A and B are shown apart, each in its own frame.
Chain A
């Protein structure tokens, strides 16, 4: 029986992984680049 992780790896081919990594990279970039609070805006 395949584990959830194995299923995930099977379904995620290289193209999807590259796309996901690019989006993750961009999200981390803006979280770091935005000067205020964690999400890029000092909020309450």
Chain B
């Protein structure tokens, strides 16, 4: 929910700015966008679709790392676009801590205890957490622990979301990338005049 909230915030802000200044939303060219769709496929099967229940745990790290490498290539190819330097940096931080800790995002028992207060004690250390992208690792056994899922924000009554520093940067990057959709034409050199969508009608 953390990152999807950033999408909603960015879109809302872009729509509000476009409405206030009575100008169209403008798409901008991104290179190799197909790469994102291809890169997401391994994660789709490993973490999203019901197949995640049968996806072997030992394949999950490979799915996550190869997917994120492809996403990083996409971000770097579009480095000059609005917000993409933050997307790239956030992804690099996440990918670094993931690779250094066996291919999954480390999360400490203390953090999990806040999210799952009733079941945290019974979760096995060093194992993938459910069918997600995290691995339960004690802080003292985590490499670059400050980049792991160690931050918590409340999500609903009594529920919490854990996120990493890389996630926070990705969230800022996505807000900037969406905000740029409502930029004046002169602000975005890559924007072509024929690529706009008026919201004033």
Contacts and interface: CB of A to CB of B under 8 A. Distances in A.
Interface of A: 15-16, 18-19, 21-23, 25-44
A36 B25 contact: no
Given A22-B33, A30-B6, A36-B105, A15 B196 contact: yes
B195 A35 contact: no
B137 interface: no
B163 interface: yes
Contacts of A21: 33
B53 interface: no
Interface of B: 1-4, 6-7, 11, 25, 27-28, 30, 33, 36-37, 39-40, 43, 47-48, 67-68, 71, 74-75, 87, 90-91, 94, 97-98, 105, 107, 115-116, 129, 132-134, 149, 155, 159-164, 166-167, 170-171, 174, 177-178, 181, 194-197
Contacts of A43: 1-2, 115, 155, 159-162
Given A25-B30, A32-B68, A44 B115 contact: yes
Given A36-B149, A36-B163, A44-B115, A29 B75 contact: yes
13 contacts: A16-B197, A18-B27, A22-B30, A29-B71, A29-B87, A32-B36, A33-B71, A33-B87, A41-B163, A41-B167, A42-B134, A42-B161, A43-B160
B163 A27 contact: no
Contacts of B87: 29-30, 33
